[in-house]
């Protein structure tokens, strides 16, 4: 059976829980390449594998089921998230799609009210019509969440910090609520990466990443990742991965592995540049609101301090007066920041959620969630911080 073989393959690489994180990003879950001693896992650009006798092979039969390059990446994310199992998909959304396929019509899923726009679209425009029920709430308010739980509630889906409002949700507290009610807890850890926060250690059951962002880190690949410890759910997810087939290609797996090797170094710089940009925005008269977990008046600053190593490089803010025309002027003048969707790459990006990443969210939902006309989201890159601050200052003033 390929499923149990896949699981036993997984066990091969994951034997290094004792390594420190900064070593794991480079070696975690990796096995020595036997052919020529290649230090990087080769890009196994093959669809199939020779068998010596029917059913007798070297552990790989067909690349939808498993591929050695993808396997190395899957072991890497498992190692970084302190998980037993890792899975890689063609995109972050296809990873979430695979998780949703664990459920059946009638099941209820509670999620955050300011979810990533693409996840919101997948939930509401695709899975709703197959009978899954989605409820969106402010997951900071545990009393409200508890009232929404019914015997049909099967999953709570958390993003923290959220996109683009940078709300912070207490993973350990939600996990207690989930355990009490026998509900799975899934965390989209894209914004934090396992360098800043490890949801499984805080009690989550499934952690997911858009590896497109910080993990790959160079804006050159679309990829999704899942890590978890539960063997049964892992078997189901491997079954879904192979049956639905939304796998990543070996080249994309290679690029992501390559990116992960510098994750710790990049994240430190994203965080320190983020802090400098925050300090600048804080004293800027034309800026009204700032959303960043390091802000002491951030509603969940203390939770962020508790569950995150540092505060990250994602910052949102609004202009006083809330005029869309200010956004246009500002984004046109920027020279170092690029106006683009996505985040988490080495280069600094600026995004206007209302017209870009969150355009698929109905206007009334956007406004209720604080995604106003002048809300800007910055993905602070790893350039020189003085150039970044200068660029913002010139464009704002």
Ligand X SMILES: *Cc1c(COP(=O)(O)O)cnc(C)c1O
Q: Which residues contact 328 (CB under 8 A, 6 or more apart)?
A: none
Query: C-beta of 136: minimal distance to ligand X in Å?
Result: 15
Q: Per the omega criterion (within 30 degrees of 0), is the bond before 161 cis? A: yes
Q: 116 an active-site residue?
A: yes
Q: Which residues contact 190 (CB under 8 A, 6 or more apart)?
A: 92, 116, 159, 163, 208, 209, 210, 213, 214, 344
Query: C-beta of 107: minimal distance to ligand X in Å?
Result: 21
**Residue number, 191 or 238, with CB nearest to ligand X:** 191
Query: C-beta of 397: minimal distance to ligand X in Å?
Result: 30
Query: C-beta of 338: minimal distance to ligand X in Å?
Result: 16
Query: C-beta of 312: minimal distance to ligand X in Å?
Result: 12
**Residue number, 166 or 396, with CB nearest to ligand X:** 166
Q: SS3 of 223, please?
A: coil
**Residue number, 158 or 396, with CB nearest to ligand X:** 158
DSSP state letter for 42: P
Structure tokens at 237: 């997810």
Name the burial class of residue 92, with classes exposed (0-12), middle (13-18) and buried (19+) by CB atoms within 10 angstroms of its CB. buried
Q: 70 an active-site residue?
A: no
Query: C-beta of 174: minimal distance to ligand X in Å?
Result: 17
Cα–Cα nearest to 14, from 69, 80, 95, 63: 80
Q: 198 an active-site residue?
A: no
Among residues 44, 85, 116, 120, the one annotated as catalytic is 116
Cα–Cα nearest to 253, from 213, 218, 221: 221
Structure tokens at 397: 């003033």
Contact set with ligand X (CB under 6 A): 91-93, 116, 118-119, 159, 163, 188, 190-191, 210, 212-213, 222, 224
Residue nearest to ligand X (CB): 92
Distance CA 114, CA 370 (A): 9
Structure tokens at 165: 């409002």
Among residues 2, 5, 49, 64, the one annotated as catalytic is 64
Among residues 101, 213, 266, 310, the one annotated as catalytic is 213
Helices (H), the chain: 2-13, 21-27, 68-80, 92-100, 117-121, 142-148, 171-181, 193-196, 231-244, 250-260, 263-282, 301-307, 324-333, 363-368, 385-396
Q: 214 an active-site residue?
A: no
**Residue number, 13 or 353, with CB nearest to ligand X:** 353
Q: Which residues contact 58 (CB under 8 A, 6 or more apart)?
A: 49
**Residue number, 163 or 273, with CB nearest to ligand X:** 163
**Residue number, 175 or 219, with CB nearest to ligand X:** 219
Q: Strands 338-339 and 349-351, how do they pair? A: parallel
Catalytic residues: 64, 116, 188, 213
């Amino acid at each position: 059976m390929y499923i149990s073989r896949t699981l036993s393959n997984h066990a091969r690489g994951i034997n290094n829980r004792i390594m420190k994180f900064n070593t794991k990003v480079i070696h975690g879950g990796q096995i020595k390449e036997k052919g020529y001693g290649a230090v990087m896992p080769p890009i196994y650009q093959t669809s199939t594998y020779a068998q010596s006798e029917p059913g007798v092979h070297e552990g790989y039969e067909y690349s939808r089921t498993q591929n050695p390059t993808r396997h190395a990446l899957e072991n890497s994310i498992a190692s970084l998230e302190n998980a037993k199992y890792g899975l890689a998909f063609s995109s972050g959304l296809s990873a979430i799609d695979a998780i949703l396929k664990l459920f059946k019509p009638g099941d209820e899923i509670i999620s955050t009210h300011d979810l990533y726009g693409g996840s919101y679209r997948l939930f509401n425009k695709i899975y709703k019509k197959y009978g899954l029920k989605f409820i969106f709430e402010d997951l900071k308010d545990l009393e409200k969440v508890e009232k929404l739980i019914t015997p049909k509630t099967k999953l709570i889906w958390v993003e923290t910090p959220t996109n683009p409002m940078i709300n912070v949700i207490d993973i350990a507290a939600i996990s207690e609520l989930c355990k009490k009610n026998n509900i799975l807890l899934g965390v989209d850890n894209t914004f934090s990466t396992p360098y800043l926060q490890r949801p499984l250690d805080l009690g989550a059951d499934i952690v997911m990443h858009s590896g497109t962002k910080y993990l790959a880190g160079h804006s050159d690949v679309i990829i999704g990742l899942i890590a978890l410890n539960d063997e049964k759910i892992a078997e189901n997810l491997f079954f879904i991965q192979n049956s639905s087939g939304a796998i990543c290609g070996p080249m994309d797996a290679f690029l992501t592995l390559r990116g992960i090797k510098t994750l710790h170094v990049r994240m430190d710089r994203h965080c320190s540049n983020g802090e400098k940009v925050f300090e600048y925005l804080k004293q800027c008269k034309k800026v009204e609101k700032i959303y960043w977990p390091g802000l002491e008046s951030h509603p969940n600053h203390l939770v962020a301090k508790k569950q995150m190593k540092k505060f990250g490089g994602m910052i949102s803010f609004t202009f006083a007066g809330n005029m869309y025309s200010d956004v246009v002027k500002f984004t046109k003048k920027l020279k170092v920041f690029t106006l683009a969707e996505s985040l988490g790459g080495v280069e600094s990006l600026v995004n206007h959620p209302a017209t870009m990443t969150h355009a698929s969210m109905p206007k009334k939902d956007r406004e209720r969630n604080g995604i106003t006309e002048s809300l800007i989201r910055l993905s602070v890159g790893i350039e020189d911080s003085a150039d970044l601050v200068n660029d913002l200052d010139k464009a704002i003033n």
